[in-house]
Structure 1
Amino acid sequence: MSFTYQAGTPFAGDGLKDVTTTIKDGSYTAIIGHTGSGKSTLLQHLNALLKPTTGTVTIGDRVITNETNNKNLKPIRQQVGMVFQFAENQLFEQTVAKDIAFGPENFGMASAEAEKQAAAMVDLVGLPQDVLEKSPFDLSGGQMRRVAIAGVLAMKPTVLVLDEPTAGLDPAGRNDMMKMFQRLHEKQGMTIVLVTHQMDDVADYADHVLVMDEGHLIKEGTPREIFQNEQWLENHQLGLPKTAAMARDLTKQGFRFDPLPLTTDELADQLAKQIGGGAHD
């Protein structure tokens, strides 16, 4: 599948070039790459916000081509929920309840049912019920973002697509947000697709990684496969997770790691064995 911006005009530019991959149902897939590598362009094909210039995108049992009619895409938009960067900028209703209920009502849900759904979604994203009758613009930035995510979840998607969902949040807020997505993945079996510059989040949560560069998919695999070659990462303007970088620095003090730990738990386990057994110099 390929995508060209402003195809057929003098301003045409390649967005994606011959990308072929499969995102498995129930997986937690991270998409990484430097700015301008094609990550967000790829995301927008996952619910047909963009359609491929050549090739096909298969979403469930629907095959999307350049000729696909826009009128019949509602079921896909409901199945694949998109959370854009700074999602709180999309809030517009007078109350939190109305904002969350807007999407379901737009897709044909009765108002009373949509209100119940809004109350349930507020719980799901970790907000108190008393926010329902407040204006979303009276909430903190982190709370506003949760409201926006609740509005996407109210559509009952089976796939949640996240474009830098923690951008601008403090470390505690970022951590809370990522744990919330992990709960959705584990407890509801939701397929997660995450675009991020945070390599720690890739190591901690993803089970599959796609690496984009200049519109090409240049590598895919497990986090361990992606992070095993530091020089390759550096060549593509990517870094190691902090834990892996720390372990690499500890090797200079005589510690040995096999495999290179990607998470704090892995690092702690290997250090405990070495310190307890006197394995380092």
Structure 2
Amino acid sequence: MDITFEKVGYTYQKGTPFQNKALYDIDLHIKEGSFTALVGHTGSGKSTVLQHLNALMKPSEGTVTIGDRVITSQSNNKNLKGIRKKVGIVFQFPESQLFEETVAKDIAFGPKNFGATEEEGIVLAKRMLPIVGLDESYMERSPFDLSGGQMRRVAIAGVLAMEPEVLVLDEPTAGLDPQGRKEMMDMFYRLYRTQGLTIILVTHQMDDVANYADHMVVLEKGTVIKEGAPKDVFKDAAWLESKQLGVPATVSFGSLLSQKTGLVFNGLPLTTADLADEIAKALKQQPNDSKAGDAE
């Protein structure tokens, strides 16, 4: 299921003295089966775009097409519920939204809200727990007796239980340590690869963009200012820094290493594996250059 924005604008409190234009003239196409990262500094419009992805907000101008549904400012709210089953959003700190007395009931809440029976909800809960790295022993536990990381996994299981086609992640690793962040992102990447989910990642973590995304969209002041494959966008580190954005640690380290040692890399090292490969290639090339110089 593709999602397309055409000339989308959004104004908060439109028609009042407090109106504020948050988005303007956004053209954006998110392909089915892609892993897209939305990046931008605070105030760039990421959160507002996110809420248009499953029609929590309707555009003030333009159209948002979600699958075969076209959303405009005039769309009837009563007919949009089905979209929210197809496009699941994991909001920042999703564990704060847990409220049921057991893990099973919390995971089953969404499906039941869309017509699943009690039994069907429990079956879905059992199926989702191992996907998020928890086992069936958690079913009857209170979510409030779990660790913060476990609570987050339960909340994510509740979104996955809706069996969405698109999964939107709003800073999903906020507050986690590096190991926890890697485990969480690896889990989402497995879902992308094995379940065929379309993933949309809203993040400040450039390393996550480099390691997992295949497409990158940069927002500034409510509109798209650049998009493309991460390896292409990250080539212009100076431009990204001018937009108050960083580059992956491997790009920074590779650039510094090249300056300090004179090693020449053939490609941009986005990931740790890329960097190791480029260093190995550069080191292999060095002796050949030296021998050629001696022969002369």
Q: Does 1:107 align with 2:109?
A: no
- After TM superposition, give the deviation of residue 128 of structure 1 in Å: 1.7
| Separation of aligned partners in 2, 1:38 and 1:259 | 32
Per-residue deviation, 1:87: 0.4
For residue 268 of structure 2, give the secondary structure of its aligned residue in structure 1: coil
Letter in 2 for 1:112: E
* Identity value in percent: 62
Partner of 1:35: 42
Matching of residue 189 in structure 1 with residue 196 in structure 2: yes
1:276 positional shift: 2.9
Runs of 4+ aligned structure 1 residues displaced above 3 Å come to: none
Q: Does 1:215 align with 2:222?
A: yes
What residue is the counterpart of 1:274 in the other structure? Answer: 282
The residue that corresponds to 1:179 in the other structure is 186
Partner AA of 1:157 in structure 2: P
How many matched pairs? 281
Q: Which residue of 1 aligns with 2:87?
A: 80
1:94 corresponds to 2:79: no
Q: CA deviation at 1:74?
A: 1.4
Aligned to 1:20, what secondary structure does the other structure show?
strand
Q: 2:68 aligns with which of 61, 64, 81?
A: 61
Contact 2:35 2:199 in 1 (8 A): yes
Highest Rg: 1 or 2? 2
Partner of 1:265: 273
Deviation at 1:258, TM superposition (A): 2.2
Deviation (angstroms), 1:277? 3.3
Equivalent residue in structure 1 for 2:134, among 115, 121, 127: 127
- Paired with 2:24 and 2:232, the residues of 1 have a C-alpha distance of 23
Is contact 2:265–2:282 with CA below 8 Å preserved after alignment?
Answer: no
Long gaps (5+) in structure 2: 1-7, 291-296
1:235 aligned residue: 242
Q: In structure 1, what is the equivalent of residue 169 of structure 2? A: 162
Deviations 1:58-87 (A, max 9, x none): 000000011111111111000000000000
Query: How far apart are 1:14 and its partner, in Å?
Result: 1.1
Deviation, 1:107, is: 0.3
Give the whole-Å Cα distance in 2 for the aligned partners of 1:115 and 1:128. Answer: 14
- Separation in structure 2 between the aligned mates of residue 258 and residue 36 of structure 1, nearest angstrom: 36
Counterpart in 2 of 1:44? 51
Contact persistence 2:263–2:283 (CA under 8 A) = no
Structure 1, unpaired ranges of 5+: none
Is 2:238 the partner of 1:254? no
User: What is the TM-score with the length of structure 2 in the denominator?
Assistant: 0.93
Q: CA RMSD in A?
A: 1.1
**CA distance, structure 2, for counterparts of residue 255 and residue 270 of structure 1:** 9
SS in 2 for 1:19: strand
Give 3-state SS (helix, strand or coil) of 1:248's partner: helix
209, 231, 247: which one aligns with 1:224? 231
